[in-house]
Amino acid sequence: MIEWLHPGLIFILGALLIPVLKGKWKQIYLLLLPIVALIDLLYMSKGVFWRLPLLEYELVFGRVDQLSLVFGYVFVIASFCMTLYALHVKEDGQHVAAFLYVGSTLGVVFAGDLFTLYLFWEVMAFSSLFLIWYRKTKASSEAGFRYIMVHIFGGICLLAGIILHLQNTGSIAFDSFNWGTGWGYLSSYFILVGFLINAAVPPLHAWLSDAYPEATVTGAVFLTAFTTKSAIYVLIRGFPGVELLIWLGAIMAVYGVIYAVLATDARRLLAYSIISQGGYMVAGVGIGTWMAINGSIAHALSCILYMALLFMGAGAVLEMTGRSKFTELGGLYKYMPLTFWLYMIGAFSISGFPLFSGFVSKTMVIGSAAIVHQPIVWLLLEGAAIGTFLVAGLKLPYLTWFARKEKGPVVEVKAKEPPKNMLAAMGVTAFLCIFIGVYPQALYGILPYAVDYAPYAAGHVVAMSQLLLFTFVAFWLLRGMLHGTPTITLDTDWFYRIAGKRFIWFCEKPLLDFADSIDRVLKDLANSFAWFSRNPTAASRIMLLTIGAVVARPFNPAYMRYERDLEELRGMYPGETVHRVAIGTGVLLVLMFFTLYLIIYLTHGVLWV
């Protein structure tokens, strides 16, 4: 009897059979795997499972507690919605990469030791890479390369921290890390950097806004959920209550909103919104109270659903029009009204509208900041909430579905509703966003700590409604200023893009020229040895005479005749080759040398005595 079945293994092993199946059977199979994984989670017992010995250590593939179960639930439910959205995709490779991505994320969630965590951490990075590369454009190829380089760096930091932690403590258990100042905490610093890179915390965030907009339509939807939210999970597990995270999270929330305002591409705007929303979760982990940790977990679950829904809506527009830049869109409402309203449910959720999922989770973190007397953090998070509604709830839908360009050539954009499976996926995800908002106890009931929070207190509802109302009025009055020419906004990826270009230039020019020169020298040297070996005696004479001619030239007036003789000697080279002796003579010479060596060896001791 199987004691425990790893839900990640269902996806990883299940991905191997995807290329074998065809047609409707493959679609049924794709939807069946997340359902089986969810059933597995629902009947899972808490405890520690799948212990495997490694030298004197123990790998733990299954640490099941309420924290890992909560993230496991939402990851599997989200994977079902995303798979339904991608059901029309014909390329098996995209489905295989997506399922490996989901499976490895579940491996991270249930990892009970640092080596197992690192193993699935790296699989997660490389499997997600193909969701970017499968778009098969120059931009996606370059963005994917930068994406994996950043994650390799993050993986190196994580591995370095794990090794240092093992040396310091002798343990590989994945629990809360010690935090403080000084070299003694170096291992924790490295591990935290590895986690923060996957969480997309500024200034280590640009890989997300660079790569996600270049992924495939369906791949980008998968990317929204797993890398950043699994990073939130490991931060909760490893660094709760670290004050540094409070400020990093608050800055992250505002930073993402500012760059979303500047974005001129729909999916890039949403990518920066992911960064902003992650700021609430990181800040909650840093605050560290039970209410704040619950808020971070609840907001991670809500964010997975509504960010997936938002990317589904933007992806549907890209799928049906081939465009995602605001300067090329507008007036799509008459062609795609259902897509618009489903998108708006996600927009209402991310903006924190009452009766939608974001309202019941985001306000927990904001309220926690107020309770622990962090007024600046509270103000930054509230400001980011206003900006989120401005960009995701107003700017993007207005420029995509309604606004028309007034200047320049007007290109009519015609489209239709996306395939039924995409609409169905958006419908299921939208239902979950509303269900959580209307009945928050469904979310609060699975959180690891008891929840003593009433989101629909009159003060909360009135305050949030006022903020949203005034933001809408300001947007409506200034909406005419939204149209403009395409812009390029520099982010922190500028530094490693420039450094990368310089490195490539160095490899292609100076380094390659140096390698060519070394190659030429070695070839000349090899040719010289070959020339010398044709007649070593004559070659030695020519070399000596050449050196003599160079030395005697300033002192001997008759050097011209000397040069002619030398040139004649070179022309006759190799001339008569060196006399070769018979094999027997060669063997005799070898025996004579061995005999001489034996005499020296035998008399060596006597001579020393």
413: confidence class by pLDDT, cuts 50, 70, 90:
low
The set of residues, in sequence order, having a beta carbon less than 8 Å from that of 245 and lying 6+ positions away, is 235, 239, 282, 283, 285, 286
Same-domain check for residues 478 and 456: yes
Same-domain check for residues 201 and 244: no
pLDDT in tens, 415-446: 889 999 999 999 999 999 999 999 999 999 99
Same-domain check for residues 423 and 363: yes
Same-domain check for residues 288 and 216: no
What pLDDT, on a 0 to 100 scale, did the predictor assign at position 538? 73
Contact criterion met (CB below 8 Å) for 3 and 45: no
pLDDT in tens, 142-200: 999 999 999 999 999 999 999 999 999 999 999 999 888 777 789 999 999 999 999 99
Over 70: is that where the pLDDT of 5 sits?
A: yes
Contact criterion met (CB below 8 Å) for 252 and 203: no
- Six-digit token string for 249: 């999270």
In a domain, 1, yes or no: yes
CA 359/CA 319 separation, integer angstroms: 30
559: confidence class by pLDDT, cuts 50, 70, 90:
low
- Six-digit token string for 559: 């050097």
Of 218, 223, 186, nearest in space to 208 by CA: 223
Contact criterion met (CB below 8 Å) for 326 and 270: no
In a domain, 221, yes or no: yes
Same-domain check for residues 199 and 277: no
Go through the chain and tell me how many residues it has: 609
What pLDDT, on a 0 to 100 scale, did the predictor assign at position 475? 84
Domain end residue (candidates: 430, 456, 484): 484
608: confidence class by pLDDT, cuts 50, 70, 90:
very low
Coil/strand/helix, residue 2: coil
Over 50: is that where the pLDDT of 609 sits?
A: no
Same-domain check for residues 312 and 443: yes
Neighbours of 116 (CB within 10 A): 23
In a domain, 411, yes or no: yes
Among all chains, which residue has been given the structure tokens 């044709």?
534
Provide DSSP, 550-602. HHHTTT-TTHHHHHHHHHHHHHHTT-SPPPPPPHHHHHHHHHHHHHHHHHHHH
Domain end residue (candidates: 484, 504, 529): 484
In a domain, 98, yes or no: yes
Domain end residue (candidates: 212, 235, 258): 235
18: confidence class by pLDDT, cuts 50, 70, 90:
very high
Q: Which of 228-237, 347-356, 453-462, 516-525 has the least mean pLDDT?
A: 516-525
* Residue of 140 and 559 predicted with greater confidence: 140
* Residue of 492 and 146 predicted with greater confidence: 146
In a domain, 603, yes or no: yes
Coil/strand/helix, residue 60: strand
pTM over 0.75: yes
In a domain, 489, yes or no: no
- Six-digit token string for 79: 């994977």
Q: Count the helix, strand and coil residues of the chain and give each as a percent rounded to the nearest 5.
A: 75, 5, 25
Domain membership of residue 566 as a residue range: 521-578
Same-domain check for residues 569 and 598: no
Q: What's the maximum distance between 2 C-alpha atoms anywhere in the chain?
A: 114
Same-domain check for residues 216 and 246: no
Over 80: is that where the pLDDT of 496 sits?
A: no
Over 50: is that where the pLDDT of 606 sits?
A: no
Same-domain check for residues 311 and 331: yes
Same-domain check for residues 186 and 314: no
Domains contained in the chain, number:
4
Same-domain check for residues 118 and 254: no
Same-domain check for residues 231 and 268: no
In a domain, 215, yes or no: yes
In a domain, 516, yes or no: no
Rounded percentage of the chain residues whose pLDDT exceeds 90 = 63
H-type alpha helices, 224-356: 226-238, 243-262, 266-287, 290-321, 337-351
